Amino acid sequence: MELPVQLSWFSVTRLRPDLYRITEPSCHRMVRANCFLLLGSDRDLLIDTGMGVAPLRPIVASLSSRPLSVFTTHAHADHIGGHPEFADLEILVHPFEADELRRPGLRGLRFPKRAPEQVESLRRSGIELTEFMVDAVPYPDYDMDGYGRDAVEPTRLVDEGDIVDLGNRRLEVLHLPGHSPGSIALWEEKTGSLFTGDALYDGVIVDTGPGASISAYLPTMERLKRLPVVDVFGGHNDPMTRSRMVTVIERYMASRSGRGR
């Protein structure tokens, strides 16, 4: 199958003077993750790296001139695909996800086979899987079967309560299991900003993948509901206000209460 070429692979949106959102519009919605570039006075922070279908580092370099660190919310393919480009920099990850970074990633851009009950669960959520993870390629003769992620060695393991210091801002690491065992978020109390990865986003929460646990997700959601956030920057879809966050959490908890596993 020959897909169209999309030369401008990334979409960059400046959300605030100190914050950029980077996405890959030609990726299927299931793997169209958000990367966030947060600017500090001493160093900048790239939160996740997307699928890695096209080089992300030149985009980041055009926006950031300070030393850079990479924060890994979790080690699913759509959030760490670009990590090998940044292997010479500081890469932060939770200990439970570190070994996934150390292994080569999936090969090819076809969706892996899923159990029928997972496919049906996604379909009920309004997510229809296609053959390919993309509907375009970044340049002619792109080798979709040759796509893959090289192994990456993390340089800093972070867990609950650790601090990421950017000079003029300090962000606290929150361990939020449920979507994956080592899902982590960044909480900046001063601004009320919360970067959640796939622990929480504005959409149907996927909790049926490898390593997911509803019984772990429910207390995570309770914890997030109590947090005095102003803005939530999730791993997919648009940012949320606190009121929208509460709505998403309550909808999830109502659908999953009594079904913990």
pLDDT of 122 reads: 74
What average pLDDT does this structure show over 27-51?
Answer: 97
pTM of the model: 0.94
Q: Using the predicted structure, report yes or no on whether residue 187 has a pLDDT greater than 90.
A: yes
Task: Compute the average pLDDT of residues 61-75.
Answer: 97
List the single range of 12-16, 79-83, 125-129, 225-229 with lowest mean pLDDT.
Answer: 125-129
Mean pLDDT, residues 91-97 taken together: 98
Side chain identity, residue 40: G
pLDDT, averaged across the chain: 94
Integer Rg of the chain from CA: 18
76: nearest Cα among 209, 171, 165, 168: 209
Q: What would the mean pLDDT of 37-66 be, rounded to a whole number? A: 97
The answer to whether residue 209 scores a pLDDT higher than 80 is: no
What is residue 260's predicted lDDT score, i.e. its pLDDT? 46
Burial (CB < 10 A; 0-12, 13-18, 19+), residue 192, is middle
Q: What is the pLDDT of residue 183?
A: 98
Amino acid at 78: D
What is the full DSSP assignment across 145-187? TT-B------SEE--TT-EEE-SS-EEEEEE-TTSSTT-EEEE
The predicted model gives 81-99 an average pLDDT of 98
pLDDT at site 258:
61
CATH assignment, 11-256? 3.60.15.10
| Tens-digit pLDDT profile for residues 213-229 | 999 999 999 999 999 99
Residue 119: pLDDT band (50, 70, 90) is confident
Question: How confident is residue 117, by pLDDT bands cut at 50, 70 and 90?
Answer: confident
pLDDT of residue 204: 86
Q: Please, are residues 58 and 84 in contact by the beta-carbon 8 Å criterion?
A: no
User: pLDDT tens digits for 132-184?
Assistant: 999 999 999 999 999 999 999 999 999 999 999 999 999 999 999 999 999 99
